[in-house]
């Protein structure tokens, strides 16, 4: 399954036979609110199941960072409750820049579920094109998916540091945070020495849809990525970096590593260095 699905293709799939319809996950989330669950109650893609970033797509915040990977058993329970079945496609959407939907895409891929895609343009594109919406809470039949971690590569702090030296490590945060000019959330400002700034917002065009593969490939080449070079990504807590991994796959560079703990994990350890300024350091 391709990483992206159009609104037209999703609408057609949802209008097909019941047994062939994808599971749709509404993963709307905002750091400063309002809660995504409120938006879901106001209207969502028909049949979509609300899936919370903090409680389903991440574990408890702590030493592992603000959005560590969830416990596999907990993730399996929650995915089954959402109706995810082995071999059944899953589509995730948000209503912002696609990064939370990309986290859902990445997490299901990591869990061994390969049939998953992000709705291109998200909920905004769905409603703008006049597709139907619902206010009914979905109550899916329980799924049978088995979570098997390891489907996507995960980097720890040491591996991320090594990749910044020997390959290409992309920092998905906005430039002021990368440069250490501001740090509103995490213990220290700056970035992993050697990491290259690649703000995730550049993956999305003015229309809210993902940029074409050729444009993404050109962007990553401009950031210094060479064919076959090992590449990975991190951000503040491992969410927006998932969109870098997805964009890399669209651009023809599949299998990028994700430093799941990201800066929220790195910056907790005072013994780990922090570079500042606009250059990798």
Known catalytic residues are: 235
For residue 218, give both structure tokens: 């050109």
261: Cβ–Cβ under 8 A, 6 or more apart, which residues? 64, 65, 68, 156, 157, 237, 238
Q: In this structure, are residues 280 and 194 in contact, taking their beta carbons and an 8 Å threshold?
A: yes
Instruction: Identify which of 209, 20, 29 has the alpha carbon closest to the alpha carbon of residue 126.
Output: 209
- CA–CA distance, 253 with 158 (Å, rounded to integer): 22
- CA–CA distance, 143 with 221 (Å, rounded to integer): 41
Q: In this structure, are residues 161 and 214 in contact, taking their beta carbons and an 8 Å threshold?
A: no
Helix then strand count (H, E) for the chain reads 10, 10
- CA–CA distance, 27 with 37 (Å, rounded to integer): 9
Going edge to edge, which strands form the sheet with 4-5?
4-5, 116-119, 90-93, 23-26, 49-50
Cα of first residue to Cα of last residue in the chain, in angstroms, is 38
Residue that has been written with the tokens 């409750």 in this structure: 81
């Amino acid at each position: 399954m391709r990483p992206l699905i159009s609104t037209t293709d999703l609408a057609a799939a949802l209008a097909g036979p019941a047994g062939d319809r994808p599971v749709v996950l509404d993963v709307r989330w905002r750091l400063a609110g309002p809660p995504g669950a409120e938006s879901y109650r106001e209207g969502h893609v028909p049949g979509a199941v609300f899936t919370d970033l903090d409680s389903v797509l991440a574990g408890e915040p702590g030493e592992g960072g603000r959005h560590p990977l969830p416990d596999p058993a907990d993730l399996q329970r929650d995915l089954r409750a959402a109706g995810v079945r082995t071999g059944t496609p899953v589509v995730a959407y948000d209503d912002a820049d696609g990064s939370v939907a990309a986290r859902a895409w990445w997490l299901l891929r990591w869990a061994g579920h390969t049939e998953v895609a992000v709705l291109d343009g998200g909920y905004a594109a769905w409603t703008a094109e006049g597709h139907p919406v619902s206010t009914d809470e979905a109550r899916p039949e329980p799924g049978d998916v088995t979570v098997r971690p390891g489907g996507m590569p995960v980097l720890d702090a040491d591996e991320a540091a090594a990749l910044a030296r020997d390959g290409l490590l992309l920092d998905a945060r906005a430039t002021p945070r990368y440069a250490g000019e501001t740090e509103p959330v995490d213990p220290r400002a700056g970035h992993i020495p050697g990491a290259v700034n690649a703000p995730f917002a550049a993956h999305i065009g003015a229309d809210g849809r993902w940029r074409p593969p050729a444009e993404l490939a050109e962007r990553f080449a401009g950031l210094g990525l060479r064919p076959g070079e090992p590449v990975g990504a991190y951000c503040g807590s491992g969410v927006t970096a998932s969109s870098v991994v997805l964009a890399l796959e669209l651009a023809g560079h599949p299998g990028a590593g994700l430093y799941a703990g990201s800066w929220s994990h790195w910056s907790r350890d005072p013994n780990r260095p922090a570079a500042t300024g606009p250059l990798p350091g």
